[in-house]
Amino acid sequence: MDEGRGTAVALFLILLVTCAGTYWAIQTVRTGGTLFTFGSTEIITPTPGQVVPTFTPFIGLAPSPTPFTPATPVVATPSPTPQPPIQPAVPTRPTAGPTPTPLPSPTPRPAASPTPPPSPTPAYLFTVLRQGPDYSKGCNGSYIFGYIYDAQGNPLPGVRVHVFDYYGNDFPPAISKEDPPGWYDVLISSQPNTWVVEIVDEAGNRVSPQVEVVNTGRFVEGQEACWHRVDFRRTR
pLDDT in tens, 162-171: 999 999 999 9
pLDDT at 204 over 70: yes
CB 13 within 8 A of CB 60: yes
Whole-structure pTM value? 0.50
pLDDT at 22 over 60: yes
Cβ within 8 Å of residue 192, ≥6 positions away: 215, 216, 217
pLDDT at 37: 47
pLDDT in tens, 100-130: 566 666 666 666 666 666 655 558 999 999 9
pLDDT at 41 over 50: no
To 5 degrees, how large is the angle CA 4–CA 8–CA 12?
Answer: 170
pLDDT in tens, 173-195: 999 999 999 999 999 999 999 99
Nearest of 119, 120, 118, 122 to residue 235 by alpha carbon: 122
pLDDT at 117: 66
pLDDT at 61: 47
In the chain the domains, ranked by start, together with CATH numbers, are 1-64 (no CATH), 126-234 (2.60.40.10)
